[in-house]
Amino acid sequence: MCPLVYVSLGSNISPRKDYLIQSLHLIKEQFPVRFSVSSLYETKPYGNLKHQSYYNCCACFESSLSTFKTLALLLGIEKKVGRVRSGVKWESRCIDIDIVLWEDKIVQQKELMIPHYDISNRDFFIIPLLEMDKELINPKSGESLRSELSKIPVESRTHPVRIVSPFLL
């Protein structure tokens, strides 16, 4: 059995839900084994930016590819859906796909950090991940995601609100 990869998807450019659904279908085409998706959540922009709210969800799947080949396919999906990277951090985007966990793997490269470098501070990652598996552990900290969620300061939270439960693809 191949490792389970957990990704987070987000969109804050309309039609947000359509961009997520298109991306999820493309991910499922590439990685159909043990593919599943969390509910859809609406969240405030991270860092209190003045953007439209985000739609976020997480998906998981098995990957027999390397971390970098999997990342390349996910970046290709972003591009196919219409994402154009300008180099501006935290800009509005039609789709953003991040690898957040890869079972107990730790990767520390400039191009890819697994677990996601800021997973412990992002409730919009943790809440859908816990929906998918309540026992997930951050391999870098060794703590449960449930414990890490409880430590996020209120002023840093995006307050995800479930709006579709669960996605049916």
Go through the chain and tell me how many residues it has.
Answer: 169
d(CA 79, CA 62): 22
Architecture of domain 4-164 in this structure: 2-Layer Sandwich (3.30)
SS3 content of the chain, % helix, strand, coil (to 5): 35, 25, 45
pLDDT above 70 coverage of the chain, percent: 98
Q: Helix 67-81 crosses helix 16-30 at what angle (to 10 degrees)?
A: 140
pLDDT-derived band at 50 (thresholds 50, 70, 90) equals confident
Q: Where are the domains of the chain?
A: 4-164
Amino acid at 151: K
Output the pTM of the full model. 0.95
Kindly report the average pLDDT of the chain as a whole number.
94
Model pLDDT for residues 94-140, shown as the tens digit of each residue: 999 999 999 999 999 999 999 999 999 999 999 999 999 999 999 99
